[in-house]
Structure 1
């Protein structure tokens, strides 16, 4: 999971999307260039004009266009060389596991997938940025290989754990925070210390602890002595009350046990 996933969600909340017509395969997304999205969650419906943690949507739009263009260049490099090196070197330009998977979703089963960007006519168009990109279903195997390679580069032991927050270490200034999780899964470590990548996730861990909620976290698993640590971790979501989660898990387990193995 991307550590900036919540920022991406706030960005998408500002974007208006819809089909051009019922049944159409053409989807239009309007991202108002002068609107803003905050780097941190806010209780306000919209970030204020003076918010130092706000970024113009136009800036995000240009970054996305740059990343898509880098992905296209990496695909072209693969077609000519058979090497995924273009994807690895293009990480600095925005190529990522998430980007490759997003394009896979666009290109799968498509004779041709077209992505066109129309910049706000009231502003000067960005320099050295393409505004038209094409992908084919034949690109999907290459993108899939690239996604696997990028995931391997990010971590050799990236795991997701569901559990109960049982320990909250006192948060230190400049530190995103640390907490302990009792895992509810049947496999993997039973207890994990979680060191967060983003400080806003610490508040979600506090809420899960106070409200007795099951929580899902993802990060790089490492063993240090008798302790299991999850580094650069992200809180994916809370999964409702612990009692409800446990009841649902037992029901699924019993349901699977009752099924007949016919083959």
Structure 2
């Protein structure tokens, strides 16, 4: 009897979790040599109302392990499209919230913002982190914060560093808000927490033509419970990208100095004559 009860509990857990697939978040950032740039955040959520057949579980693409189809729509009050309304109502005023788009069985929600300098990037980063009820910018040491440094004369080598912990902290205002305000966990109570409803699936930084990128991928050999095969997501823990920019100012100054030196030499020769 105990084995039967244990089996029933296990099956209940499997079917409960099989119904919900986390929203996948991608973060794409581009920096210029002066520290200005753009950051784009995209949340992708599979919507079962867009399909006439069950949506295949990404952790079981062959459908051989019985992990169940993806069922997301019923877990958002008002349906998946309600995520756009929440984001539009709650995002900072300096952030652009694009209209929801749809491709296949996936809804996409895009947020983006620009920054005029690295200092502006940090200021907006700090605001996002402090919007989270469970994180605070002040909790991080100087060594844990993002950095952007450039050095070199004729070529500026610029280095950017960032941690996955801070990236996730800067997204928590949205994750927590959606979880608190519009997520319906009634059919998943006890099995799903805020941490289960979203995951960082793609991270990309472009700097001086150099790109650092880490993206999710299905690994058929990864252990998943008693079976194998699951989607593996970026783990960081930190990312560093080094890009190079020509320092045109240094070239101009050097050219001016060269002209002055040559002109001075010519003047000396003329005077001697």
Q: For the pair shown, which has the larger CA radius of gyration, 1 or 2?
A: 2
State the structure with bigger RCO (CA 8 A, min sep 6), 1 or 2: 2
- State the TM-score bracket (shorter-chain normalisation): under 0.3
TM-score (norm 2): 0.23
Q: When the two structures are superposed, what TM-score results if normalisation uses the length of structure 1?
A: 0.24
Which structure features the higher share of strand residues?
2
